[in-house]
């Protein structure tokens, strides 16, 4: 791997061309931990977002069930394997737009190195196919 491959990228066409979407094992759900309620010891949380209504957490369905939390939305977690810069413009919009065109919901979580998309569990294979289309397109020559 060259040093350039490890750097975050900003150019949208390169990000899309290099994007390799892969499904993370498991099925995930969103839960709100309200008020001063604490996350039980030993509960492995995959992602959090603090909101006025409480702490939104993403956990595996089995984890939610074991913690006594309700399971609603069942999601597949797709990691977009391209190192995007946090100030890159358009990647999230392109992902959401491509999935929306196929009637697939997209719940995007940005990590420091990658973007992650949670889609309805039943839509996982279709979402992976949609996100894989960019890699199959020929590159434009300048």
Output the average pLDDT for the chain: 87
Q: Where are the alpha helices (DSSP H) in 9-138?
A: 12-18, 61-66, 91-101, 124-136
Helix (H) and strand (E) counts for the chain?
5, 6
Q: Please tell me the predicted confidence (pLDDT) of residue 138.
A: 55
Alpha helices in 25-137 (DSSP H): 61-66, 91-101, 124-136
pLDDT at 25 over 90: yes
pTM of the model: 0.85
- The pLDDT tens digits for 52-106 are 888 999 999 999 999 999 999 999 999 998 878 888 888 899 999 999 999 999 9
Q: According to the CATH classification, is domain 3-136 in 3.30.2130.10?
A: yes
Percent of the chain residues topping a pLDDT of 70: 91
């Amino acid at each position: 791997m060259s040093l350039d491959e490890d750097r975050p990228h900003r150019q949208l066409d390169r990000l899309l061309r290099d994007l390799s979407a892969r499904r993370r094992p498991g099925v995930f759900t969103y839960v709100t931990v309200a008020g001063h309620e604490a996350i039980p010891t030993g509960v492995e949380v995959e992602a959090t977002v603090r909101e006025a209504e409480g702490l939104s957490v993403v956990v595996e369905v089995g984890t939610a069930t074991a913690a006594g939390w309700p399971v609603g939305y069942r999601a597949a977690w797709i990691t977009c394997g391209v190192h995007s810069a946090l100030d890159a413009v358009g990647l999230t919009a392109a992902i959401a737009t491509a999935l929306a065109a196929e009637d697939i919901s997209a719940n995007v979580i940005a990590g420091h190195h990658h973007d992650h998309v949670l889609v309805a569990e039943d839509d996982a294979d279709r979402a992976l196919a949609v996100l894989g289309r960019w890699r199959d397109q020929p590159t434009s020559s300048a």
